[in-house]
Each structure stands twice: as C-alpha cells, then as structure tokens.
C-alpha cells in the first residue's frame, strides 16, 4: 500500500519509517560499542519461504552492522542433530543471539526445540522462560511482534496506565505477550479469542485495539470507538476479482481509518517493525 496516498482521517503509524529510525539508532549503538555482534539463525530443511526470510534478515542485519550466520540443517540429521547444534550455539561465548526459522519439518517437536534455546540468546522470545520473565516484570527478550506492537502504540504518545486495551487473538507469540506487556504498563487489558461473545461490543470500548487473529476484515468501523489507536497484526492473502493477490490485515482499513485516531496499515505497519525488533533484541542480547 502507498501509505502517503491512503485516504484516511486517522494518523497512519508508518512502520517502515519507524523501523528505519530503530535501525539507525541500533547502528549507532553498535558502532559506539566497538564490538562485533552476531545473530545465528537455524534453518532446518528446505522451506522456500523461510529461506527467503533468511535472505531478508541477512540484508537487514548487514545494514546495522550485525553479522548474520545461517546454519542450514539437513533433515536427515534428525532432531538429535538439531539438539546438538542448539547446545553448541548455547555454549559458545562468541554467539550473541540465536533464532530458529519456523516451521520445523514434520517429526520435529517445535516447542521442545524452542525451549532448548538459551533464554539469554533467545531473540525471538520463544523460550517459555522469557515470557515468564515478562510476567514477573524482569529483564527479558520479548517476542518481536509483541514488541513491535508496543513500539507502535508508544509512538502515539498515549499514557498507558489506565488506558483500556483490547487484544483480539491470544496466541503464545502475539496476543498473550502483547496483553502481558500492556498489563506491565498498567493498562486495563482485555484478552479476547475466537470464543469471545459480542466481540464488537468489547472492542468498541477500547482506547487501544490490537487485532491479531488472522481473519480478514474481522475488525470493522462499527467495532471501533472514534479516536482509538488500532494496531493491525494480521497478515492475510486475498485475491482480487482480477486475480491479483494482495496482503491485508485483520482490520477493514478503509472504513476503520475514517474513525480511528491512529492506525497501523498492512503492509507497512507491524511487519517492518517486527524485523527491526529482532535486530533490537540481538543488540540487547549482546549486552551493549
Ligand atoms: P494464531 O492462529 O496462533 O492465533 C489466532 C488467535 O486469534 C487465537 O487466539 C484465536 O482464538 C483468535 N481468533 C481467531 N478467530 C477469531 C475471531 N473471529 N474473533 C476473535 N479471536 C479470534 O495466530 P497468530 O500466530 O497469533 O497470528 C495472528 C495473525 O498475525 C496472522 O494473520 C499472522 O499471519 C499474523 N502475524 C503477523 C506477524 C507480523 O510480523 N506482522 C507476526 C506473527 C503473526
């Protein structure tokens, strides 16, 4: 979407612009530290989209001065081979950060593998110890998309204590950590899911509305209070009548942007900020 051309009365939360600012400040931080920082990525098997994502990560890392090392694991090495690699990277003092591309091939226990990553190097925040630390308000590596939502919300200047925040979707990787982070910020938080009754009546009370359900057009204008901050996490592929494929979020942007105070677009909102937060977590994990 051409963000500048989008017609709306809401302020558009431009994730690309914010992400650029984050990258610039990380690049300065790394330069000032005089250190070399690295991110070790694990890719098991030959998933094409994960390989593409890895290329993109490498490019982003090099822009800020992070060394990106991709470890490709042949499926024939099995889960035991993956365990061995994770343990090797955990034990290596020269390794600052570790992330593992998903999905793992059939037969691999993803949750078990994620839980093996050293929490201090777990830059995607997928080890349960990290979400536990968030709950206790301790220093922690937070899942990147949840962190991206928080940065976008905070960029509006809203005072979160007492603000009413409604999260649509309660997955381990997005909805739940966003809810916990907002609770930590002393907001009033309502977590909703696919069983929630009268969703619209609840979302309409929100000062901050985060949509992370993966359902095209789930949030419509009738479900939003005027002036609300709307963060759209959804990534859904839709086909236009002429057969062109497009990426859209969970929010009906055209109608909701007419009444929201701030809105993050899809694409160009949470997505670019998520990648920037991976870089930020890497720099944080390196302790500079
Ligand atoms: P998920 O499928 O793991 O969880 C979806 C959640 O939404 C569940 O809690 C479910 O109960 C809830 N839900 C589903 N339908 C609902 C409905 N009709 N009303 C209310 N709640 C409903 O999904 P996920 O991994 O959290 O991803 C959610 C969306 O966010 C997807 O579109 C995904 O592609 C996108 N996503 C984007 C990024 C990014 O970087 N921008 C990162 C992760 C996920």
Domains present along the chain, CATH in parentheses: 34-119 (3.40.50.10860), 142-270 (3.40.50.720)
Cβ of 231 less than 6 Å from ligand 1 = no
Of 144, 169, 251, 269, the residue with max ligand 1 atoms within 8 A of its CB, to mutate for a pocket test, comes to 169
Cβ of 192 less than 6 Å from ligand 1 = yes
Q: What's the pTM value of the predicted model, to 2 decimals?
A: 0.95
Q: Three-state DSSP class for 1?
A: coil
Cβ of 265 less than 6 Å from ligand 1 = no
Ligand 1 center to 128 CA (angstroms): 19
84-to-3, 112, 185, 218 alpha-carbon distances in Å = 45, 13, 39, 43
Atom 34 in ligand 1: which residue has the minimum CA distance?
235
CA-based nearest residue to 126, from 109, 137, 136, 112: 112
Cβ of 194 less than 6 Å from ligand 1 = yes
Cβ of 233 less than 6 Å from ligand 1 = yes
Extract the tokens encoding 206: 């929100």
Q: Using CA atoms, how far apart are residues 249 and 228, in angstroms rounded to an integer?
A: 17
Could you list the pLDDT tens digit for every one of the 288 residues in the chain? 444 445 679 999 999 999 999 999 999 999 999 999 999 999 999 888 888 889 999 999 999 999 999 999 999 999 999 999 999 999 999 999 999 999 999 999 999 999 999 999 999 999 999 999 999 988 899 999 999 999 999 999 999 999 999 999 999 999 999 999 999 999 999 999 999 999 999 999 999 999 999 999 999 999 999 999 999 999 999 999 999 999 999 999 999 999 999 999 999 999 999 999 999 999 999 999
CA-based nearest residue to 211, from 277, 256, 161: 256
Atom 18 in ligand 1: which residue has the minimum CA distance?
194
């Amino acid at each position: 979407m051409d963000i500048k051309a989008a017609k709306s009365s809401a302020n558009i939360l431009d994730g690309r612009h914010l992400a650029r600012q984050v990258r610039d400040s990380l690049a300065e931080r790394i330069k000032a530290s005089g250190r070399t920082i690295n991110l070790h990525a694990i890719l098991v098997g030959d998933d094409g989209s994960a390989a593409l994502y890895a290329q993109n990560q490498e490019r982003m890392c090099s822009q800020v001065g992070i060394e990106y090392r991709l470890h490709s694991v042949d499926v024939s090495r099995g889960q035991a081979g993956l365990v061995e690699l994770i343990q090797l990277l955990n034990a290596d003092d020269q390794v600052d950060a570790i992330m593992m591309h998903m999905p793992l091939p059939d037969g691999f226990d993803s949750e078990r593998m994620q839980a093996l990553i050293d929490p201090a190097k777990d830059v995607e925040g997928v080890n349960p110890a990290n979400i536990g630390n968030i709950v206790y308000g301790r220093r922690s590596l937070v899942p990147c998309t949840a962190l991206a939502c928080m940065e976008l919300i905070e960029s509006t200047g809203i005072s979160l204590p007492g603000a009413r925040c409604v999260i649509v979707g309660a997955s381990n990787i997005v909805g739940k950590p966003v809810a916990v982070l907002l609770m930590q910020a002393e907001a009033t938080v309502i977590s909703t899911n696919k069983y929630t009754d009268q969703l619209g009546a609840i979302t309409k009370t929100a000062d901050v509305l985060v949509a992370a359900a993966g359902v095209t057009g789930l949030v419509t204008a009738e479900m939003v209070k005027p002036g609300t901050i709307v963060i759209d996490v959804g990534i859904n592929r839709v086909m236009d009548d002429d057969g062109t494929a497009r990426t859209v979020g969970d929010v009906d942007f055209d109608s909701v942007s007419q009444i929201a105070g701030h809105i993050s677009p899809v694409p160009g909102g949470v997505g670019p900020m998520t990648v920037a937060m991976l870089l930020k977590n890497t720099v944080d994990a390196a302790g500079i």
